[in-house]
Amino acid sequence: MPTTQRKTILLDFEKPLVELEERIDQIRNLAEDNEVDVSAQLRQLETRADQLRQEIFASLTPAQRLQVARHPRRPSTLDYIQAISDEWIELHGDRGSGKDDPALVGGIARFEGRPVVMLGNQKGRDTKDNVARNFGMASPGGYRKAMRLMQHANRFNMPIFTFIDTPGAFPGYEAEELGQGEAIAYNLREMFALDVPIICTVIGEGGSGGALGIGVGDRLMMLEHSVYTVASPEACAAILWKDAGRAAEAAEALKITALDLMNLGILDVLLPEPLGGAHADPVKATEILREALRDNLESLLVLSPAERRELRYQKFRQVGVFAETAHANVV
């Protein structure tokens, strides 16, 4: 990747790595200009760069993982859908408001030869695109469109794949006026009753009820550097401490990472990402996601609709369940 392009999307913790890579480029260019063989030295520096990249991404804090989840070049819902689908037809509108919400996309696809319904939150690539997509924050019409597509899938026995990537549902006055809370609550209830397999994957940022509105499924998967949280760390810090600057502290306390949620028993499948994040190698990230969807779908298809509904119900009944152990006083 050219240095100028890399600088425009540089995350703060990547600076040491980028500086080393720039040094390698400079040495290589000087060696070529002066016809000097420095291949041995370059191999050593490249090995060090690989080690440094592994060290950085193996020890990311929750706040740093949130930065990766929000990376502007991270593959989006439409990127994944178009990459894993043999065919894809996007469908529009909730058949109620007469509008189409571009922040939540969905349609009919063919996956591994099987008809499925795929839908998810869609962010933009740049400011203009993000404004058009409302930064991936869906309106009530978006959630009603999602439910219309899921009911269509249920009617024609098509599995459902949802892709979660939103800071939350749109909190504007108009959204509340049009029944934002009711639309999300309706989706939560109805998704529990669907007969077909449902696989939900957090591909970036899973925030609050905006994520839950398409997040009730038989399997919950998360990409390694994605996050899933009841509120954004910035919002949590502003609410608890009246200081959004303490977002990193809130991110640590909220347990938002895939590993945290796996340890809490909420997450079913943790998907590894290419070194450097999904944006560093979208093709490999897509293959990892495709294989996980294939394997989990096969295991769900052998179950009856009643078994899947019971599995879904029990899965969410167990979220937040814990046991307290009494400790005797030690004299």
Domain ranges within the chain, ordered by starting residue: 3-59, 66-317
Pairing of strands 114-121, 104-111: antiparallel
Q: How many residues does the chain have?
A: 331
Cα 264 to chain centroid distance, Å, stands at 18
Distance CA(245)–CA(225), nearest Å, equals 22
The candidate with the shortest Cα–Cα distance to 123, out of 161, 171, 73, is 73
Half-sphere exposure of 262 (CA within 13 A, CB side): 15
pTM of the model: 0.88
* CATH number attached to the domain at 66-317: 3.90.226.10
Per-residue pLDDT for the chain (331 aa), expressed as one digit of tens each?
A: 344 344 457 787 777 777 777 777 777 777 776 766 767 777 777 788 788 788 888 889 999 999 999 998 999 999 999 999 999 999 999 988 888 999 999 999 999 999 999 999 999 988 999 999 999 999 999 999 999 999 999 999 999 999 999 999 999 999 999 999 999 999 999 999 999 999 999 999 999 899 999 999 999 999 999 999 998 899 899 999 999 889 999 999 999 999 999 999 999 999 999 988 999 899 999 999 999 999 999 999 999 999 999 999 999 998 887 777 766 565 5
Distance CA(248)–CA(113), nearest Å, equals 44
